[in-house]
Amino acid sequence: MKIKQTIDKIPGGMMLIPLFLGALIHTLWGGAGAYFGSFTNGLMTGTVPILGVWFFCMGASIDVRATGTVLRKSGTLVLTKIAVAWVVALIAMQFLPVGGIEKGFFAGLSLLALISAMDMTNGGLYASIMQQYGSKEEAGAFVLMSLESGPLVTMLILGSTGLAVFEPHAFVGAVLPFLVGFALGNLDHDLRGYFGKATQTLIPFFGFALGSSIDLTVIWKTGLLGILLGLFVIVVTGIPLMLADRFIGGGRGTAGLAASSTAGAAVANPMIVATMKPEFMPAAEAATALVAASIIVTSILVPILTAYWAGYVAKKKGASPGETPSGQVPGMVDKPA
């Protein structure tokens, strides 16, 4: 059976399919983990420790000796994405309560949902898109996007806007596994290769554990709002990202549009932040559902929109249908390290 090949055809499938399975089990049998206990319960409730190991391995996989071009392009995209999320948070905090909206069409919408959906890019999706429609340097720009992974950026935005106050040790605790992995991976390249291989392997496990905390009836109730949130993320982050890519990163806007997605790992942020700051707990479940919907919407639309934009730019620059404006054949770009 070609199970993996089938899952890989779905954008973010290795994250979303296990997440859906976990959510389905939780919806139909909420006490399954407690009933089986032992390792099964640990697997279904172990989101935080699994993510802790994943952050460590992600840090170990990043090579500090990235080229200046890659750093400029990836830094431009990462900082722009974070800046846009910060500005949106400053505006939204004037209208949205900490616990989120409780009634009406916008029920479930919260600052936690907005920030979590906007401040992280799906690095794997970005890299795969740019391997088709960008340059080698643009494809390699996903390196710094790994720094967005996890709750740290969400915590920084919430803290800097005054929406929450986190003790310094909470920030250290959120980023320490990543930093330790980063140090070890750059001190010993063998360790980088050893731990780096686990980043992809762990994705379905924390997807399943996270899904095991989601009630699918919440996604049903917030489905249309989740679709609108995904569209909002693409438009509000995509336009600044495209402009930054063109005028700062020296690109054609393609990389910026490809970075306008919601990261798969972002679905874990609402619950992690709520665990550290209980005042966000009332909004966490609905925020998780909204972010999950945004992941699906952006994972589907961003590749389509990027392909359209790349074709438009190629036609405008006079490149042949089989080439990007830089003369590269789509799909022949070297994979980033």
What's the confidence (pLDDT) of residue 326? Answer: 43
What is the rounded average pLDDT of the residues 26-50? 87
Long-range contacts of 184-192 (CB under 8 A, 24+ apart): 184/60, 185/59, 185/60, 185/61, 185/62, 185/63, 186/62, 186/63, 186/64, 191/60, 192/60, 192/61, 192/63
pLDDT of residue 5: 85
**80 pLDDT higher than 90:** yes
**Averaged pLDDT score across all residues of the chain:** 80
- Looking at the predicted structure, is the pLDDT value of residue 74 above 50? yes
Ranked by mean pLDDT, the top range of 50-54, 121-125, 330-334 is: 50-54
- Find which of 12-16, 63-67, 195-199 is predicted with most confidence, using mean pLDDT: 195-199
Closest CA to 272 of 187, 158, 180: 158
Q: Alpha-carbon distance 73 to 138, whole Å?
A: 7
- Say what the pLDDT of residue 176 is: 84
Count the neighbouring beta carbons within 10 Å of the beta carbon of residue 96.
Answer: 20
Q: Which residue has the higher pLDDT, 197 or 235?
A: 235
What is the set of domains in the chain, with CATH numbers?
8-316 (1.20.1530)
DSSP tag of 98: T
What average pLDDT score do residues 206-228 get? Answer: 76
Which of 45-54, 75-84, 292-301 reaches the highest mean pLDDT?
Answer: 75-84
Q: Which range is least confidently modeled, 128-142, 186-200, 259-273, 301-315?
A: 128-142
Task: Give the whole-angstrom CA distance, residue 125 versus residue 142.
Answer: 9
What are the pLDDT digits (tens) for 221-260? 666 898 899 999 999 999 999 999 999 988 899 999 999 9
Residues 6+ apart with CB under 8 A from 198: 53, 54, 57
Cα-based distances in Å from 134 to 72, 298, 307, 331, 336? 15, 19, 10, 9, 12
Q: What is the pLDDT of residue 174?
A: 67
Least confident segment among 73-87, 108-122, 164-178, 322-336: 322-336
Say what the pTM is.
0.69
